Structures are given as structure tokens and as C-alpha cells.
């Protein structure tokens, strides 16, 4: 496999995910934030391009209101920010709705984006799926992301169920899923991380269920 030309995309590591109705429940949000910081450090050491994304809604919105405390980046990200990073805001799940972000990645000949941040069940999932038609390979750091408990007319699932299910789903087609530690080692070695594929995952799934 050829050496990946990576960028790290830090998605919505904002204070509203640490307190209130969207507080991340699994993995532990403080551990996930520490792993985001570790991924940033590994990316910086390797000279990778870094993007920091914030979800942003108008003033007065119940979450992510521009300029509010909940809208602000977590200190573990904010204290590491450098002028050469790209800053991006969004109002939808996918980070790739920002055409300037896509152009910035193209200018740097990035072919692989590593996603960290929140939430697994919304912006990480949406961004991983949206990368496919752009021709970008995706890596997702399972311990530097996080999910919430969900309940609605379709059913009730725990954050652990949501997160673990989506990691398997992403690894089956949309992304190569890795831990922060393994990804950092791969970055230092300029090595790719292998994903699975839908057919292999389906065959292994059938065998496991038999």
C-alpha cells in the first residue's frame, strides 16, 4: 500500500459535549478528549495538516450558539491550536459541507482524513460517509470519538451500543477504525491503516452468528 497523505480533522470538540443534554456518554468524554489531544500532538509531530471544526448556530440557540461557553472549543484543543490550522464552522453533520475545507485539503494533496471528535452517531458518521464521493480515504479513532444514549419512537439504545455498532459499521465500508495509540504509531511510520470491506465483514458476521 502507498503512503497515505493524511490530514487530521478535529470535529466539534466543544464544551456542549461535556455538559448538558449532549454530554458524551461513551467512551468516557474526558478520556476521549485526552485522546483527541494525543492525536493532535502526533499529527503536529509528523507535520500533518490539521483542521478544527466547530458546529455553530445563531445566538440564542439552545446548543452551539455562536460565542457561548458551550460553543467554545475544549481547552485540550484550544490550547494546542496553531495559526497554520484551518478553522471551519458548520451547521450540518458533515464537515465536507464546507467547500473551503475541501479545497484546502485538495491544495495539500491530502488523500486520507483522520476523524476525531464528536459525535460518533452524527458528525463523525456523516463526515465519514460524505468523504466517499470525494475520493478521500477515512480513518476514525475509536477512542477519540464518542456517542450518547438515544431513545425515540424507533427504540432505545445505550451510548456504548451506539458507539460500538457504528465503529463496526464504519470499519466494514466507510473507514479504517483504529485506536489513537495505533494511529499515532502509523503516522510516525507513514504507514496506512487497513480497513475491512462489506463482503468480508458480512461473511465474518454470518460465521460469528452461526
Residue 195 lies in a domain: yes
CATH classification at residue 197: 3.40.50.850
155-157 and 150-152 beta bridge pairing: antiparallel
Residue 88 lies in a domain: yes
Do residues 63 and 16 lie in contact, with contact meaning Cβ atoms separated by under 8 Å?
A: yes
Backbone phi and psi for residue 44, each to the nearest 5 degrees, phi listed first: -60, -45
CA distance 199 to 142: 22
Residue the block writes with cell 456517542? 147
Percent of the chain with pLDDT over 90: 98
Residue 182 lies in a domain: yes
Residue 158 lies in a domain: yes
Residue 119 lies in a domain: yes
Overall number of domains in the chain: 1
Which tens digits make up the pLDDT trace of 27-64? 999 999 999 999 999 999 999 999 999 999 999 999 99
Residue 1 lies in a domain: no
Q: Could you list the residue range(s) of the whole structural domain that residue 85 is in?
A: 6-209
CA distance 177 to 171: 5
Residue 138's beta-bridge partner residues? 113
- Cα angle 191, 139, 187 (rounded to 5 degrees) comes to 30
Residue 168 lies in a domain: yes
pLDDT for 63 equals: 95
3-state SS assignment for residue 48: coil
pTM higher than 0.95:
yes
pLDDT for 1 equals: 59
Residue 142 lies in a domain: yes
Low-confidence stretches of the chain (pLDDT < 70) are: 1
Amino acid at each position: 500500500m502507498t503512503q497515505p497523505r493524511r490530514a487530521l480533522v478535529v470535529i466539534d470538540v466543544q464544551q456542549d459535549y461535556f455538559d448538558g443534554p449532549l454530554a458524551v456518554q461513551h467512551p468516557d468524554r474526558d478520556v476521549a478528549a485526552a485522546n483527541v489531544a494525543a492525536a493532535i500532538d502526533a499529527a503536529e509531530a509528523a507535520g500533518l495538516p490539521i483542521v478544527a471544526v466547530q458546529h455553530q448556530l445563531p445566538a440564542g440557540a439552545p446548543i452551539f450558539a455562536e460565542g457561548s461557553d458551550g460553543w467554545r472549543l475544549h481547552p485540550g484543543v484550544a490550547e494546542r491550536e496553531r495559526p497554520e490550522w484551518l478553522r471551519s464552522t458548520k451547521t450540518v453533520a458533515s464537515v465536507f459541507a464546507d467547500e473551503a475545507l475541501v479545497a484546502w485539503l485538495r491544495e495539500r494533496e491530502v488523500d486520507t482524513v483522520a476523524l476525531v471528535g464528536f459525535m460518533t452517531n452524527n458528525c463523525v458518521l456523516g463526515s465519514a460517509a460524505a468523504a466517499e464521493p470525494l475520493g478521500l480515504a477515512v480513518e476514525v479513532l475509536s477512542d477519540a470519538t464518542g456517542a450518547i444514549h438515544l431513545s425515540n419512537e424507533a427504540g432505545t439504545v445505550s451510548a456504548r451500543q451506539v458507539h460500538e455498532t457504528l465503529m463496526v459499521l464504519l470499519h466494514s465500508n466507510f473507514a479504517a477504525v483504529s485506536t489513537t495509540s495505533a494511529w499515532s504509531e502509523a503516522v510516525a511510520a507513514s504507514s496506512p491503516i487497513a480497513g475491512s470491506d462489506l463482503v468480508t465483514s458480512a461473511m465474518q458476521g454470518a460465521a460469528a452468528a452461526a
